[in-house]
Amino acid sequence: MSVSVLSQNLHGSEIIKIAGEINELKRQGQNIANLTIGDFDSNIYPIPQALKQGIIDAYNDNQTNYPAADGMLGLRESVSAFLKSRYNLDYASNQILISGGSRPLIYSTYLALVDPGDKVVFPAPSWNNNHYCDLTGAEAIIIQTRPEHNFMPTADEIRPHIKGAALLALCSPLNPTGTMFDKKDLEEICDLVIAENKTRKAGEKPLYILYDQIYSQLTFGHHQHFDPVSLRPELKDVVIFVDGASKCFAATGVRVGWGFGPANVISHMKAIVGHMGAWSPKPEQVAMAKFLKQDDEVNSYLAQLKSNIQNSLNTLYQGFKELKADGFNVDAIEPMGAIYLTVKVDYAGKTTPDGTLLKTSTDINFYLIKEAKVAFVPFSAFGTDDNVNWFRVSVGASTLQDIEQMIPRIKAALEKLK
């Protein structure tokens, strides 16, 4: 049976392929440390107790009918106050859109701003921008980033590609790398967008920035989150932010995301999200509106979550650095934010004990799954070439003990390669 051109051209998910391999091995009774999913094990990282109780109370109060299409006013007002207190960003309730997590916000941003054939500029590795380009018929302009710059794009790398582009899609802290923009680099990108928009004629669509900061509350050490509007207030009319509760409160299944930006764009996104029916559940909205106002509860939860995540990331980081010091061809980039560590396992061209030649990052990953009982995600799943032997490692579904135990297994597996 024939299907649409769009559905034929959508690429499959490499992460789903990895999950299939892991599930098969688990069916065989093997215990695999699954560091592939950008999620939390809710038994290791439960949502805040006050939020959980608020959700229960809202259900008991029969808050189970349709919410407002753009999100309940009480939640949008709470988000407005949260943005002011946490980022010093001023956005009124009509500039805020609530949806069922952040994905509908990203997709509706594309649909509201990008026409078929428009150029969308984004870095690789990055999460899902290539698929959103497929869904909207956009021309994907992919910027291959470098480990020397923590896989974050620079103004010099972006500059040749933004003439006439409709959207520049950025994320910090970045999924999949866990790295972040520093102030200077983001300022230079902002100035590039300002200069480009000054060349556009009246009535011509400006270059917009989609700024995904869903991990912005999860930053570590001296690393500080920056955003385009705080650095360059004149960009406020062209920046659409994507944010929400999914990551900062380990609440991926609660499905409360918020986007914010210029009111006219948010209004169009509201109509799109409404037609998709991608609303956040009403009881969760009621509970989140109350929880965001409880500063002590929010601060206490974030402090504990960040401490636990940072301990796991640092343990894995130090483990890879020790392997590197021992002469293994591996490396890692210092964890800065999110729940991810960027690691290198550069063993392409080596042969496994059964005589199989490892040609690509995917081959290396499947070898580690079978031999070390550890699963990562190659950056090829996020838009890089197969010969880029860097990987995303997600710690949200593993205990600190799990992570401590996997380093010796990785070492033993790498020692077997010839």
- Tell whether 53 and 41 lie within a shared domain: no
- Tell whether 348 and 275 lie within a shared domain: no
Give me 94's structure tokens.
Answer: 């009509």
Question: pLDDT tens, 89-130?
Answer: 999 999 999 999 999 999 999 999 999 999 999 999 999 999
- Tell whether 222 and 316 lie within a shared domain: no
pLDDT band with cut points at 50, 70 and 90 for residue 1: low
- Tell whether 214 and 333 lie within a shared domain: no
Residue 80, φ and ψ in degrees, nearest 5: -55, -45
Taking residue 2's Cβ as centre, other Cβ atoms within 10 Å add up to 5
CATH of the domain at 260: 3.40.640.10
Positive or negative torsion for Cα 86, 88, 91, 93? positive
Of 293, 316, 336, the residue at which a domain comes to its end is 293
CATH of the domain at 352: 3.90.1150.10
Of 247, 276, 293, the residue at which a domain comes to its end is 293
pLDDT (0 to 100) of residue 23:
81
- Asked if residue 9 has pLDDT above 90, the reply is no
- Asked if residue 17 has pLDDT above 80, the reply is no
Of 236, 265, 293, the residue at which a domain comes to its end is 293
DSSP 268: H
Question: pLDDT tens, 315-371?
Answer: 999 999 999 999 999 999 999 999 999 999 999 999 999 999 999 999 999 999 999
- Tell whether 39 and 100 lie within a shared domain: no
Question: What's the predicted TM-score (pTM) here?
Answer: 0.96
Separation between Cα atoms, residue 405 and residue 319, nearest integer Å: 10
**What's the domain count of the chain?**
2
- Tell whether 145 and 159 lie within a shared domain: yes
pLDDT band with cut points at 50, 70 and 90 for residue 18: confident
- Asked if residue 11 has pLDDT above 80, the reply is no
- Tell whether 243 and 95 lie within a shared domain: yes
pLDDT (0 to 100) of residue 24:
84
pLDDT (0 to 100) of residue 16:
78
- Tell whether 272 and 142 lie within a shared domain: yes
Question: pLDDT tens, 120-176?
Answer: 999 999 999 999 999 999 999 999 999 999 999 999 999 999 999 999 999 999 999
- Asked if residue 50 has pLDDT above 80, the reply is yes
- Tell whether 284 and 306 lie within a shared domain: no
DSSP 67: P
pLDDT above 90 coverage of the chain, percent: 91
- Tell whether 251 and 192 lie within a shared domain: yes
Name the H helices within 277-327: 282-291, 295-325
- Asked if residue 14 has pLDDT above 80, the reply is no
DSSP 107-167: HHHHHHH--TT-EEEEEES-SSHHHHHHHHT-EEEEEE--GGGTT---HHHHGGG-TT-SE
DSSP 24-58: HHHHTT---EE---SS--TTTSPPPHHHHHHHHHH
- Tell whether 115 and 246 lie within a shared domain: yes
- Taking all residues of the chain, what is their mean pLDDT, rounded to a whole number? 96
- Tell whether 329 and 250 lie within a shared domain: no
Question: pLDDT tens, 242-293?
Answer: 999 999 999 999 999 999 999 999 999 999 999 999 999 999 999 999 999 9
- Domain residues for the domain of 370 are 5-45+299-415
